[in-house]
Structure 1
Amino acid sequence: MSGAGGLAWRALHALVRALLCLQRALLACLRGRAAAAAATSCALLAPAARALGFREARAAWRRRGPAHGGAARGRQRWRADGRALRKLPVHVGLVVTEEEPSYADMASLVVWCMAVGISYVSVYDHNGIFKRNNSRLMDEILKQQQELLGLDVSKYTVKFANQDKTGQVLNCQSTLKVLSPEDGKADIVKAAQNFCQLVAQQQRTHSDLDVNMLDNLLSSTNGFPDPDLVLKFGPVDSTLGFLPWHIRLTEIISLPSHLNISYEDFFSALHHYAACEQRWGK
């Protein structure tokens, strides 16, 4: 009995050891499969994560231009780009025909105009949203100036020339007007009425009316030259009332949208303008 009992005990002990070895093997296998699954998941998800990060970085770059992550490099590039153009417009009109204008994207466009050396900028949307919210646009431009131009912000100042912003000068060289449809046809009607009053008061005669006289009577663009270039944003094939008197000789370039507009798109439009031959109606 004792011999049989010892044999049974040794068999049971061997069985327990075998079960323990099997358990360890199973655990190792499960850990290996888990690690492989994790590695596979990482391998599958890594490209998506990289793509997501790239898209986010690209979106930020598209809105802020080349200065993102290096304002000094951006300023140098903008100045070089402006000097490299065969001709640079003195006055650029930014016309938005889309229903929901973006203050951030419009501010970027204004700051880019300033940075490349454009002296006059007009902002227009057919609903008058920018003009009604002039202060909000001004705040966004100041923010973009600081982000994109950095320490050189004092060299790129902008004067708001609207009637409701008289005297507000933001330390700068470029001049901005924010316009609405009332500054177009309605301003021409008002100028005609003022001229008729001058004739009725015998201060003028009908023969005095010419292009220069009408320009002087138009209050919405007083002190501004006619736009050399209009950048029209949106699917509508019309400037929707933007300064109809002043753009008779203006080069008009259409872009799909001002939303998430990139500096590359903006400069491409300037390059197109610089390369075009204007015949002035000849």
Structure 2
Amino acid sequence: MFKPRAIEAYRRDEKLGHQMLTPEERIRLLKPYLPSPPLHPSEQANKRAMENEQRLGVRRFLKRQWHLFVFIVIHFFFSLYIRIRQAYHQVVNKISSVYHHHHRAPDLIYNDVKDLRRLPKHLSVVLTLDEDARGGTGLAKLIEEASDIAAWCASARIPQLSIYEKTGTLKGYLPRVHRSMTQKLAAYFGPNTPGVGIRAPHCPSIETAPTLAASRIENDGLKHLSVMILSAEDGRDSIVDLTKTLADMSQRGKISTSDITIELVDAELSESVMGEPDLLLLFGPRVELVGYPPWQVRLTEISHVQDNEGVNYQVFYRGLLKYAGAQMRWGR
């Protein structure tokens, strides 16, 4: 940056027609602010040689070897820890699966959960379609997993189940999903099969009434199971659509801005998509919501089993245990 004294001297010389300073003085005045001249080819070669010597020096070589050694040691111990943790969880899950096996008996499942302090009224799960499977086996596996979870919920007397699958494949096969769930419930409950209703946002619902024997049961057994199928388009996209609708209504004067409240947004999303679940189960090894509707999961208890792969009863049972022991502070 130019110094004020140099600027003043140069401007005064310019006003006097460059009569105050000699050419040598003007050069000395501007020289500190000029870029350095390019190096001579021989000087550039010497500079590169010095850089190569520094790059290939013994100290630099030893430093790189030390960094590589530290990286290998850290990687080794971390990999060892991961392997031991995975093996431990596999053994624990296997023992737990033997001790707590439902045997497709609703009474056994209910005995597992009847002493819990509380059970969710609305259970939600995240399922993943195996897109690498061939010949429709991925879809068949997905429907089978959804049917198993529906049977577990009915056995545990959880009246509402929502199933989130990101791609929306299940939405295109609602009759097939309903038929599979009905058959699965019949295999579990026999003549006392509860009714099941399955629906999806912006899709007609499919209902099945409970069997005559189930409707005559006088105890508090589940009479009807409600199932909601969700996909990624029911998440952020639904919030964006509602925002556009409310903004358009406000501009047209059909609704006041003071009427747009959290309660209104919650009511609209609950009606168009679904209400907020009490418990969200993840069957993957990590907590990944993969686009799950964000508004509906604000105060939901989220549960997953570390290093678990695939849908199994142990994740379902452990999730109910965690929910029963969780402290509900509602953000306070």
| Structure 1 and Structure 2 fold alike (TM over 0.5) | yes
> Who is 1:166 aligned against?
204
2:268 to 196, 200, 217: 217
SS in 2 for 1:187: helix
Q: Matched residue pairs, number?
A: 211
List runs of 5+ in structure 2 lacking aligned partners.
1-93, 131-137, 211-223
Which runs of structure 2 are paired with 1:189-208 in the superposition (5 Å)? 189-208=240-259
Identity %: 25
Give the letter for the 1:281 counterpart: G
CA distance in 2, matches of 1:167, 1:251: 27
1:247 to 285, 297, 311: 297
> Who is 1:93 aligned against?
124
CA distance in 2, matches of 1:242, 1:191: 17
> Who is 1:117 aligned against?
157
Q: Per-residue deviation at 1:244?
A: 0.4
CA contact (8 A) 1:89 1:228 kept: yes
CA contact (8 A) 1:105 1:258 kept: no
Residue 258 in structure 1 maps to residue 298 in structure 2: no
Q: Per-residue deviation at 1:137?
A: 1.7
Deviations 1:134-172 (A, max 9, x none): 22221211111111111110xx22211325652421115
CA contact (8 A) 1:96 1:258 kept: no
CA distance in 2, matches of 1:126, 1:247: 15
CA distance in 2, matches of 1:212, 1:92: 22
Deviations 1:164-184 (A, max 9, x none): 652421115221110000000
Change (3 A) 1:98 1:275: farther
CA distance in 1, matches of 2:232, 2:301: 20
List runs of 5+ in structure 1 lacking aligned partners.
1-57, 69-73
> Who is 1:26 aligned against?
none
Q: Per-residue deviation at 1:242?
A: 0.9
Residue 139 in structure 1 maps to residue 191 in structure 2: no
CA distance in 2, matches of 1:161, 1:167: 4
SS in 2 for 1:146: helix
Change (3 A) 1:131 1:281: same
* TM-score, normalised by the number of residues in structure 1: 0.67
> Who is 1:107 aligned against?
147
Name the structure, 1 or 2, with higher relative contact order (CA <8 Å, separation 6+). 1
CA contact (8 A) 2:164 2:229 kept: yes
SS in 2 for 1:122: strand
> Who is 1:126 aligned against?
166
CA contact (8 A) 2:299 2:330 kept: yes
> Who is 1:152 aligned against?
192
Change (3 A) 1:114 1:215: same
* TM-score, normalised by the number of residues in structure 2: 0.58
Q: Per-residue deviation at 1:236?
A: 4.9
CA distance in 1, matches of 2:286, 2:170: 18
> Who is 1:38 aligned against?
none
1:66 to 85, 102, 121: 102
Deviations 1:192-235 (A, max 9, x none): 1111122123221112122221122226755x431111001224
Give the letter for the 1:229 counterpart: L
Q: Per-residue deviation at 1:93?
A: 0.9
CA contact (8 A) 1:82 1:117 kept: no
Deviations 1:97-134 (A, max 9, x none): 46345221221111111221212111111222222222
Across the aligned residues of Structure 1 and Structure 2, the Cα RMSD in angstroms comes to 2.4
Change (3 A) 1:219 1:89: closer
> Who is 1:277 aligned against?
327
SS in 1 for 2:321: helix
Residue 178 in structure 1 maps to residue 229 in structure 2: yes
